């Protein structure tokens, strides 16, 4: 899982594995000042989220393309290939092929808002709960680095790390340009809303 944040921090309240893909945006102070100069009715965090999603799109697409599909192994049974892998907590449910890929996306937490940040990685809440989500993504990404049940390690199949490494330079270099576009669009929406509803529009 990757963390994009505009404000430097010591700990994001997440595991050590998450911090390995942490990216601090170059030029964040200038962008923060630009967003801060906009009318107070425009919520800055919404602008940051739009920015992260925009510049992080290539990394998201790459991670999805690299995400392993359960059941692709030559050792997989015909039933597994067709119906998916058994969901361990409930054997009546199965994890369909492509579930991890579908679960990868941007999401926020209560902590991320404090740092004008956002996460990119497998989702495990909402419609991505239980066998519908990518909860097992961390096992695939960090299988060779952490102990499973305190007993053994497994082979890692990296998909988030290479996605970050291949796109992080482009992400940071395009940030200010994209932030300018996002600010301009926000101002247009704000002016249109004020013209139609006045201050009652907020």
Residue 177 has pLDDT above 50, yes or no: yes
> Per-residue pLDDT averaged across 186-194, rounded?
94
Does residue 124 belong to any structural domain of this protein? yes
Looking at mean pLDDT, say which of 4-8, 49-53, 138-142, 155-159 comes out highest.
49-53
Question: What pTM, to 2 d.p., does this model score?
Answer: 0.82
User: Is 163 within a domain?
Assistant: yes
* The two structure tokens encoding residue 83: 């119906």
Which pLDDT value is given to residue 9? 43
Print the domain residue range for 58: 2-195
The pLDDT of 84-90, averaged and rounded, is: 86
Domain-embedded: residue 118: yes
* Structure confidence at residue 192 as a pLDDT band (50, 70, 90): very high
Task: Report the range out of 2-16, 120-134, 146-160 with the highest average pLDDT.
Answer: 120-134
Contacts of 21 (CB under 8 A, 6+ apart): 1, 2, 3, 160, 161, 164
pLDDT at 13: 33
pLDDT of residue 148: 67
Would 200 be classed as within a structural domain? Answer: no
Q: Identify whether 137 is part of a domain.
A: yes
Q: How much is the pLDDT for 198?
A: 84
201 falls within a domain: no
Domain count, the chain: 1
Q: Mean per-residue pLDDT for 52-76?
A: 84
**Whether residue 126 has pLDDT greater than 50:** yes
- Please state, rounded to an integer, the average pLDDT across all residues of the chain: 83
Higher pLDDT, 154 or 181: 181
Interacting residues of 19 by C-beta distance below 8 A, sequence separation 6+: 3, 11, 12
- Which has more confidence, 52 or 154? 52
pLDDT given at position 97: 86
In a domain, 28, yes or no: yes
CA distance 142 to 156: 6
β-strand partners of 85: 95
pLDDT band at 138 (very low <50, low <70, confident <90, very high): confident
Q: How confident is the model at residue 23 (pLDDT cuts 50, 70, 90)?
A: low
173 within some domain: yes
């Amino acid at each position: 899982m990757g963390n994009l944040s505009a404000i430097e921090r010591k700990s994001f309240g997440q595991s050590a594995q998450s911090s390995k893909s942490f990216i601090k945006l170059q030029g964040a102070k200038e962008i923060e000042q630009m967003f801060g100069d906009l009318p107070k009715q425009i919520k800055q965090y919404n602008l940051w989220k739009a920015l992260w999603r925009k510049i992080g799109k290539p990394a998201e697409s790459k991670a999805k393309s690299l995400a392993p599909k359960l059941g692709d192994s030559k050792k997989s049974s015909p039933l597994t290939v067709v119906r998916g892998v058994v969901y361990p907590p409930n054997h009546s449910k199965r994890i369909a092929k492509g579930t991890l890929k579908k679960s990868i996306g941007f999401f926020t937490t209560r902590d991320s808002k404090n740092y004008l940040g956002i996460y990119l990685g497998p989702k495990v809440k909402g419609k991505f709960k239980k066998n519908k989500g990518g909860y097992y993504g961390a096992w695939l990404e960090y299988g060779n680095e952490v102990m499973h049940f305190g007993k053994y390690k497994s082979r890692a199949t990296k998909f988030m790390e290479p996605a970050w490494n291949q796109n992080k330079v482009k992400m940071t270099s395009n940030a200010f340009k994209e932030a300018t576009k996002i600010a301009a669009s926000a101002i247009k929406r704000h002016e249109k809303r004020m013209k139609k509803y006045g201050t009652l529009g907020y």
